[in-house]
Structure 1
Amino acid sequence: MSTMFSFTFFTALVAVITWRMTRGDDHGTASGYFLGGRSLTGGLIAGSLLLTNLSTEQLVGLNGLAFTEGFSVMAWEVVAAIGLVLMALFFLPRYLRSGIATVPEFLGKRFDTSTRTITTLIFIIAYVAILLPIILYTGAVALSSIFDIKTLTGLDSNTVLWGTVWFVGIVGSIYAIVGGLRTVAVSDVLNGFGLLVGGVMISYFGIEALGRGDMFQGIETLRTVHPEKLNAIGGPDQSVPFFTLFTGVLLLNLFYWSTNQQIIQRTFGANSLKEGQKGVIYAGYLKVMALLILVFPGIIAFHLYSADGIHADHAYGTLARDVLPSPLTGFFTAAMVGAILSSFNSALNSTCTLFSLGVYKPFLNKDADDAMVIRSGKVFGWIIAVFSMSIAPLLAGQASIFEYLQKMNGLYFIPIFSVVVVGMLSRRATATWANTALILGFVVIACGYFIPDLDAWIKVNLHEYHFLGLVFVLLVGLMLVMAEVSSRKTPWVHEDAGVVDLTPWPLVKLAAGVLVVIVLIIYIAFADLSVLF
C-alpha cells in the first residue's frame, strides 16, 4: 500500500509542477514547440541531458552488462565525459552560431539540401526502428520486474510485456506530442532528481544487503569476492576491450553527445552559448557520478543473484524490488517511470522535429505556417509511436539489449559523425562526397554486421569497435582527399545567424579540464592491467 501511495504521490507531484511551470509557454510557434523558445538555462539543459540518457536502455541494459562483465563497462559512462567536453568546447559554439534546430539542418547549411535530406531520413528511420522500440522494451522490462506484474496479475510474460509497452508508449506520446520540448525538459529535471536519489539509495541498500545489514562488510565483499568485477580495464574477450576506448567506443560516445539529435536538441534550445556550455559540462560531472546508478547496481546484483540464474537484463529491477523499503520503492518506481517517459518522449519529440522541419516543411508543404508545421509533427508522432509500440516486444529474444543497441547505433552514428566532423574542419569539402560518405559508410558497416563470414572475420581479427574506427578514418580520409581534388568553388563561410549570444562561459575550459582529470583518476584507481597480458 505504501509503495503505491508514494508512487502515485511523486508521479502526480511531477505532473502538477511541470504543468504550472509550462502552462504559459509558447507552444504555438515552431521555435517554442521544438526548441522551448530558446529559453533553456544551464540547469535545465544538464538535467534534461542526464535524464534523457539515464533511460531504461541504460538502467536495465548497462547494469545488465555490468552484471555479466563488471566495471569495465563503465567506459560507456566515463568516456561520455570526454564527449561532453568536446561538445562544449568545439561542437556547441558552431551549432549555436548556425542558429539551427536539427543536426541535418546544419549539414544542409554546410553542404546542400540533399545532405540534409539524407541525414534527416537516416535519423528518422534509426529512431523509429531502433531507439524508440528499445526504450519501450527496456521500460516494460524494468516496470514488470519492480512491480512483479506477472505475479500480481496472473498473466503470462508476453501479455505483461505487450501491455506495459503500450502503457509507456501512450503516456510518453501524450507528454511529448502535446507539450513540446520545454515540457519535456522541465519534467526531466524533476524526475532526474528522483532518479538520482533513488538510484544512489539502491546502491546503498544493495551494499547493505550484500553485507547482511553491515555496509562496511558489503564494501569488503565487493572488494574481495570476485575482485575482477571491479577492474576498469576490459580484457580482449570482453565486450569493451581496453584499446577500443580509443577507437569505436570513443567515436560512439562522441557522436552520442555531440551529434545525436535526440540528446543535443535541448542544447539547441539554450538561451546563450554560456548557458549551453554550463549545461553540457554540468552533465559531464553528473555522468561520472552516474556510475553509482548505472554500473555498481549491476555488480551488486551479480554478488546477490548470480547463483539464481536470472537474466542479466532483469538484474536491476530485481535488485530495486528486493532492497528498497516499500515507501522508497514507490518513490523510485515513479522516478523510473519518469526516466522511461523522458527517454521515449525526448526521442519522439526529436523525431517529430526532424520530420516537420526536414521533410514536411521543405518538401510536402513549403508554404506551411507554424501551426501547420506543428500539427504535422503531432500527427507523425502518433503514427511512429504506434509503430514503435507494435515492434518493441519483438526485442525480447536479445541476449544483451545494451550490446544490441550499441551495435545498431554504429550503423548510422559513424557515417553521420564523419560528415559532421569534416564539415566543421574543412571549408572545401563538397556535398557530393559528403553524401557518398553517408551512403558508403552505412553500406560498409551493414556488410560487416550482416554478412556472416565477414562478421566472423571481424570478431576474430579486428573487433567490431575497431572496425567502426577504421570505417570512420576511411570516410574522413576520403572526404578530405576529394576536397583537395574537387573542392568547392568558394570556401564555405560559417555565418553567425544572430539567434543567441555567443559569449562563452568564462570557466568552461577550467571546468572541462577538471572533468578530464577526474576521468583519468577513476581509470587509474580501478585499473588492473594484468588482463591485457
Structure 2
Amino acid sequence: MLSSLSYLDITIILIYFGIILWIAQWASKNKSESGGAVDYFLAGRNSGWLVIGASLFASNIGSEIILGVSGAGARGNMPMANFEIIASLVLILLGWVFVPFYLRTGVYTMPEFLEKRYSKACRSYLSVISILAYVITKISLIIFAGALVFETIGIPFWTGAIITVVATGFYTVLGGLKAVIYTDMVQAFILLIGTIAVTAFGLYALGGWDHMIDVLTIASAQEGNPPTEQFFNLWRPMTDTEYPWTGMLFGAPILGVWYWCTDQYIVQRTLSAKDINNARKGALFAGYLKLLPVFIFFIPGVIAYALLQEGAIDFSMENADQALPAMINGFLPSGLKGLAIAGLLAALMSSLSSAFNSSSTLLTIDFYQKYKPTATQKDLVSFGRIATVVLVIVSLGWIPFMKSLMGGGIFHYLQSVQAYISPPIAAVFLFGLFYKWINAKGAIVSLWVGFAVGVFRLVAEFLSNEGTIQVNEGSFLGVFLDINFLHFALFLFILCAVILMIVSKMGQPQPAEMLELVTFKRRSERLKVKWSSDATLTVILIGLVLALWWLFSTWGIAN
C-alpha cells in the first residue's frame, strides 16, 4: 500500500501530524491558573462540553475498535455493534448519576473516589487492577492494532508498533491531558470524515445497497458462509454461544458501567470539566457520537465482505480485521486515501495518548504522591512522564501473549477480557452510590472474590486455548468455560453484589459524615430534577437507541 500512496496522500498525512504536534505544543504552553498537577493531569479543570465529548469518543474509538468492529461486520457478527449502541445509554448514566459525585469530591482518580467512599484498601485494589487492565486490554491492544495499520502501508509490524509508541508518547508527555483532549477533538473529526469517505466509496464501488444485498444473498447459499440476515440483526437466541440476546441486554451494560462510568481512562475527561453542566453535556454529546460506529465501522465491514465475494477486494477472512484497510487501499481516490489513513492514525493516537495519560495519573496520584506526600507539583508531573515510558515497555512485552487469546478477533478479545475484570468494580461503585449501609469490608471482600473468579476464568481459558490443559466435556471446568462471556459477566456481577450486601449487613455502615459527598441523599430528594435542555437531549438519545434496535432487529432493513 505504501507504493500506492500518492504525493498528495503523503502530504495530507504529514499535515495531519503537523497539526497534532502544533496543538500539543500550544496546549503545553497555555497553562491554566491552577498550574502544576491539576493542569497536567486534569487540563486545569477548565474544559468545555465539546472537547470533553469529542475526547470521550476519540479516546474510546481507537484503531482496535475500528478494525475490530469492521472485522465483525465482515464476519457477519452484527451483535457486536450492540456494544457501541449500549454505550450511548451508559454515557447517560455517566452524565446524570456518576459525574456529580466525582466533581463534587474534587478527585483526580477513580481509586481516590473509592477511598473517600470506602477505604484505602479499596483504593489500592482499584489502582493496581486498573493499571493491569490498561496493559492487558488497552495499551498493548492499541499498539497491536496500530501496528496492523502500519502493516497495510508496507511498514513491518514491530517497526509500526515502535513508531506508534514514540510518536504518541512524545506529545502526551509534552502537554498532559490538555494536549490529549484538544488533539482528541481534532482527531475525532478527522476520523469521522475518513471513515464516512470509506463507507461512501465502498458502497459506490459495490453498486449500491440493493446490489450488496443481492451479493450477500447469493453468498449465503454457499456452504460455510453466514446467512444474509446475520449481517443485519442485532439479536441472537439465548442459546447462541457467542452473542445471546440475554447476554447483550443484561451482561454488556455491566461492562459498560465499568468502562464508561468508573474507569480512569474514560472518566478523566469529565474530571477536567469547568462544571457539572459541561461534564454532563460532554457525556451526552459522546453518547450521540457512539451511534455512528454502526454505520461508519460495521457497515463498511459488510461492504468489504460483499466486495470480497465479487473478487473486487483482497483480504483473508481469517484476518477479517483488515477489511477496512483493504477498502481504503482499493477504492479511495488520491487525497481521500491519505485522509482515511490519517483517520486511522488519529484513532490510534487519540486512544493511546489517553491510555498513557490515565495510566501515568494513576501511578502518580495513587502511588507516588501517596508514598511521597511532600512531593512538589513539579515532582508529580516529572514522575507522571517517567511512568508512561515504563508502561509502554511492559505493554510491548504483553503483545505476544495477547495474540493467543485473539481467536475471535480484536474486538471479541477486548470485550471478553473486560467481562472477567469489570463486574466486581461495577457492583461496588453502583451500589455504593445508592446505599449508605454498604461498607468498606463488604466492598473489599466483593472485589477480591470477584477478581479471583474472573482471573481463574481468564487463566483457564488461556491455558485451554494453548492446549496446556485438557478440558473434558461435561466436567466442572468444561461447563465453567462454556458459559458465554456476557452471561459470565452477569453472573459474576450478581455474585459480587450478593457478597457486597451480605458482608456489609454483617458489619457497621461507614460514618455518616464520610458519606455526605459520595452517596445519594434521601429517596425523596433523589428525584428533584428540573427539566432542562440536557433532559431533552437525553430523551432524544434514548429514542434514537430504541430506533436503531428496532431498525436492526428485523429483516426489513435489508429489503
**Which AA in structure 2 matches 1:512?**
T
Residue 168 (structure 2) pairs with residue 172 (structure 1): yes
Q: 5+ unaligned residues in a row in structure 2: which ranges? A: 1-6, 219-227, 461-470, 519-528
8 A Cα contact 1:83 1:258, kept in partner: yes
SS of corresponding position for 1:438: helix
**Which AA in structure 1 matches 2:195?**
G
8 A Cα contact 1:207 1:218, kept in partner: no
What aligned pairs does 1:98-247 form with structure 2 within 5 A after superposition?
Answer: 98-145=105-152, 147-149=153-155, 160-211=156-207, 215=208, 217-218=210-211, 221=214, 226-235=228-237, 236-237=239-240, 239-247=242-250
Q: Matches of 1:69 and 1:473 in 2, distance apart?
A: 31
8 A Cα contact 2:72 2:78, kept in partner: no
Match of 2:286 in 1: 283
Q: Deviations over 1:30-69 (max 9, x none)?
A: 1110000001100000110011111011001121122113
Residue 461 (structure 2) pairs with residue 423 (structure 1): no
What aligned pairs does 1:19-418 form with structure 2 within 5 A after superposition?
Answer: 19-20=25-26, 22-26=28-32, 28-145=35-152, 147-149=153-155, 160-211=156-207, 215=208, 217-218=210-211, 221=214, 226-235=228-237, 236-237=239-240, 239-305=242-308, 309-310=316-317, 311-363=319-371, 365-392=372-399, 394-397=401-404, 398-399=406-407, 400-418=409-427
**Which AA in structure 1 matches 2:506?**
V
Q: Matches of 2:439 and 2:163 in 1, distance apart?
A: 46
8 A Cα contact 2:73 2:301, kept in partner: yes
TM-score (norm 1): 0.90
Match of 2:512 in 1: 491
In the TM superposition, residue 229 of structure 1 has moved relative to its aligned partner by: 1.0
Change (3 A) 1:349 1:463: same
Could you tell me which of 525, 532, 536 is aligned with 1:506?
532
In the TM superposition, residue 295 of structure 1 has moved relative to its aligned partner by: 1.0
In the TM superposition, residue 268 of structure 1 has moved relative to its aligned partner by: 0.6
TM-score (norm 2): 0.86
8 A Cα contact 1:143 1:317, kept in partner: no
8 A Cα contact 2:35 2:44, kept in partner: no
In the TM superposition, residue 238 of structure 1 has moved relative to its aligned partner by: 5.5
In the TM superposition, residue 257 of structure 1 has moved relative to its aligned partner by: 1.1
In the TM superposition, residue 114 of structure 1 has moved relative to its aligned partner by: 1.2
Match of 1:155 in 2: none
**Which AA in structure 2 matches 1:167?**
I
Q: Matches of 1:463 and 1:264 in 2, distance apart?
A: 28
What value does the CA root-mean-square deviation take over the aligned residues?
Answer: 2.3
8 A Cα contact 1:301 1:315, kept in partner: yes
Could you tell me which of 435, 442, 456 is aligned with 2:478?
456
8 A Cα contact 2:118 2:510, kept in partner: no
Change (3 A) 1:492 1:305: farther
8 A Cα contact 1:449 1:455, kept in partner: no
Q: 5+ unaligned residues in a row in structure 1: which ranges? A: 150-159, 498-502
Q: Deviations over 1:173-223 (max 9, x none)?
A: 112222100100000011111100111111111111111xxx355565478
Q: Matches of 2:535 and 2:439 in 1, distance apart?
A: 32
Which moves more between the two structures, 259-268 or 392-401?
Answer: 392-401
Aligned-residue sequence identity (percent) comes to 26
8 A Cα contact 1:7 1:332, kept in partner: no
> How many positions carry a matched residue from both structures?
509
Q: Matches of 2:510 and 2:117 in 1, distance apart?
A: 14
**Which AA in structure 1 matches 2:413?**
Y
In the TM superposition, residue 440 of structure 1 has moved relative to its aligned partner by: 0.5
8 A Cα contact 2:258 2:423, kept in partner: yes
Match of 2:16 in 1: 10
Q: Matches of 1:35 and 1:205 in 2, distance apart?
A: 40
**Which AA in structure 2 matches 1:232?**
L
SS of corresponding position for 2:290: helix
Q: Matches of 1:336 and 1:309 in 2, distance apart?
A: 20
Change (3 A) 1:477 1:3: same
SS of corresponding position for 2:422: helix
SS of corresponding position for 1:295: helix
8 A Cα contact 1:208 1:218, kept in partner: no
